[in-house]
Amino acid sequence: MDKREFIKKGLTLGAGLPFLSIILQSCGEESLGAPLIDTNFSGNVIIVGAGAAGMTAAYLLQRNNIPYEVIEAAPVIGGRVKRIQDFADFPIDLGAEWIHTDPSILSEIVNDPTVTGDIDFITYNPQTIHLYKNGKVRERNWFNNFYSEWKFKNTTWFGFFERFILPSIEDNITLNLPVTSIDSSGSTTTVTTAHGNVRQADRVIVTVPIKILQDEVIEFRPALSSEKREVINNISMDDGLKVFIEFKERFYPDALLFGSFIEALTADDKTYYDAAFRKGSNRNILGLFTINDEATRYTSLGSDERIIEEVINELDDMFDGQASLHYQNHVIQNWSAEPYIRGSYSYTFSGSQNSMVDTLKAPINNKIYFAGEALSIDAQATVHGASESAYDTVRRMLSA
Amino acid sequence: MRRLLILMMGLTMSWSIQAQEFDYSSWSFSYYAPYAIQAGLKVGKTIPINTWTTTTGKEQETDNSLLIQPQIAYFANPQVQQNYLANIELGYARTREDRKFYNIASIGLGFIYAQQFVDGSVAIGSGEVSHNKENINYFVPTINYEWGKKPKNKLGYYFKGFWGHRITGQRDNSGFLGLETGLKLYMN
Ligand SMILES: Cc1cc2nc3c(=O)[nH]c(=O)nc-3n(C[C@H](O)[C@H](O)[C@H](O)COP(=O)(O)OP(=O)(O)OC[C@H]3O[C@@H](n4cnc5c(N)ncnc54)[C@H](O)[C@@H]3O)c2cc1C
């Protein structure tokens, strides 16, 4: 990864380098391009995975009147976009939660001026910020000048897709059907699933997480080229975990960061935060977001019971026993334990990100295409990045 | 804070060599950057209220001045906060004749009227985004240190650092610090 890519990546990861992310957001309005594409293509398409990228790809094919089917391994749509409705008096994002760019991106994804309806968002600019370092919690509220993003106010990323994207595509989604192999050696492509179901398609768009490709959950026939395999194996996607805890009393700041000022500005691997911030709720819901090695500290404990015990102990140490005193309820989302996700999101690219993404994006025999968050250069590791990659892939596929 | 002021005055003393009365009366126009990243503009006036000359060790004369500096400023964190500041500083300035620069240590008291972006909505069809803002009032006591170039004609420049606190009854308080750099248009 060269310096330019590193800076860009820092901006993309949003929570990391928040100082820069402020600058990015103030000037960064992405354009995903036109949804209707001039095409001679008249075949059918199978989309593997119903996460943000898979759903956006389906939505675009629907709008272009191309026959398609989405095959999803999990019993639910959404992938790393997931919500829980009954934990608090507002819906909670168990996966993606922040809108890491200008909220107008939501309109860009839908890209249809005839659609009516608004989405309310909050300016996520935590006011009370504490820093935990060397066994001490210190007030650092002035950090709030260096970080601001957006979040949904009374819906979630899942709710957004459910309301604006899903209605037009849901009849074409099949759940609980893990794809095991994709064979493009014949004139059409054969997609086989775990239950021995076989489907034929003229084009296949693969949107599974990079970790699923690394673990070779799907067998490609002919095998993926050595260049593609090398790229896949050189993108890191490590552990990811979110925990939400309800307390009787509030004892925590809007955001609790770790390390020094610089560490807090540049690290993006662990934050405790008030999940009810500006949500108009009276409930005391504390969130823990953690990825990479910090997440492994918890996920390696092996069970949700041990994870919550560890989290409460840690909070007790930082806040003089208040966590166990006021604890009421919790929910844990261990992304590493999701059989068809297996981690958080693509993180470091060992090599030039641009050329690695180009290698991965290159279609196989003009039949198999790839999309997903890892393939977005401008917004890697985000939901809107996954959607942007779907726009790009569908455009390339239909224009080929 | 007292110790810091004394330290700053000490610093300014050690830089001076010889003096002739220097008139600080001026208008300042500056780029004002709280937290180093917020972008803003500040206009101020420097009004000397007392000036006297002292002689130090090797019979070197030093100009000393007491100044007041009223200022107004606007600064913003795009899509997060817009701020309007009225501020007044009481400063102690020193310079020597053979030096091209002056130093001012000051204490300030300001009032910030801030508009904080709290939430909003986006129209999915058109992409139009609207924001709701909340008004917050802060008092900001600061200490300031300015280092400036004396003018050849009427125009000088300066750099300034400030450190203080934003105090409000509406929210938790927080630190207030940053940098300022600009031009001074001297009146005499
Ligand atoms: C803890 C966490 C926090 C995050 N926070 C944010 C945030 O605040 N803001 C933000 O913008 N982004 C965030 N992200 C990133 C964001 O969630 C992802 O970038 C985005 O959702 C990825 O979408 P995708 O379609 O590329 O992949 P996915 O959502 O993973 O979709 C891939 C789909 O493929 C399916 N699949 C896998 N294997 C198979 C198979 N063999 N057969 C069929 N289907 C299969 C999976 O079940 C899944 O549904 C976060 C992610 C995590 C894990």
Considering only alpha carbons, which residue of chain B is nearest residue A113?
A: B125
Helix (H, G, I), strand (E, B) or coil at B3: helix
What is the least distance, in Å, from the CA of B137 to any CA of chain A? 15
Strands, sheet with A284-291, edge to edge from the N-terminal-most edge strand: A136-139, A129-133, A255-258, A270-274, A284-291, A240-247, A327-334
CB contact under 8 A, A122 and B177: no
DSSP per-residue string spanning A196-230: S-EEEESEEEE---HHHHHTT-SEEESPPPHHHHH
Instruction: Note whether A168 contacts B: Cβ–Cβ < 8 A.
Output: no
- Residue tagged 């990100």 (tokens): A353
CB contact under 8 A, B120 and A141: no
Q: How far is the CA of A386 from the centre of ligand 1 (A)?
A: 8
Task: Give the one of B34, B118, B172 whose C-beta lies nearest to A123's C-beta.
Answer: B118
Query: pTM for the whole thing?
Result: 0.90
Hey, CA dihedral for B5, B7, B11, B17, is it positive or negative? positive
- Residue tagged 């409460």 (tokens): A312
Residue B122: list chain A partners with CB under 8 A: 103-104, 106-107, 118-119, 121
Q: Is A18 in the pocket of ligand 1 (CB under 6 A)?
A: no
CA dist., res. A308 & res. B162, Å (int): 44
Nearest-CA neighbor of A173 among A340, A47, A43? A47
Alpha carbon distances (Å) from A381 to A384, A389, B43: 9, 11, 43
Identify the pLDDT of residue A129.
Answer: 95
Q: How far is the CA of A51 from the centre of ligand 1 (A)?
A: 6
Q: Is A299 in the pocket of ligand 1 (CB under 6 A)?
A: no
Q: Is A383 in the pocket of ligand 1 (CB under 6 A)?
A: yes
Nearest-CA neighbor of A380 among A42, A53, A46, A140? A53
Set out the domains of chain A in order of their start, with CATH numbers: 3-399 (3.50.50.60)
Identify the pLDDT of residue B151.
Answer: 87
Helix (H, G, I), strand (E, B) or coil at A10: helix
N- to C-terminal Cα distance for chain A?
29
Write out residues in chain A with pLDDT < 50, as ranges: 1-24, 26-28
Q: Report the alpha-carbon angle A205-A69-A160, nearest 5.
A: 85
Interface probe for B, chosen from A107, A147, A157 (most Cβ of B below 10 Å), is A107
Would you tell me the crossing angle of helices A304-318 and A292-299 to the nearest 10 degrees? 120
CA dist., res. B23 & res. A276, Å (int): 56
Identify any residues that bridge with A181 across adjacent strands, giving them in sequence order: A192, A219
CA dist., res. B26 & res. A275, Å (int): 50
- Ramachandran angles phi, psi of A223, nearest 5°: -60, 150
- The reply to whether CATH 2.40.160.20 applies to domain B22-186 is yes
Write out residues in chain B with pLDDT < 50, as ranges: 1-2, 4-19
Provide the token pair at A77: 């749509």
Amino acid at residue number A172 = N
ipTM of the complex: 0.90
Nearest-CA neighbor of B74 among B109, B20, B121, B110? B110
CB contact under 8 A, B123 and A107: yes
Provide the token pair at A332: 């844990």
Do residues A379 and A388 touch, judged by C-beta distance below 8 A? yes
Would you tell me the crossing angle of helices A353-361 and A383-399 to the nearest 10 degrees? 50
CA dist., res. A21 & res. A125, Å (int): 12
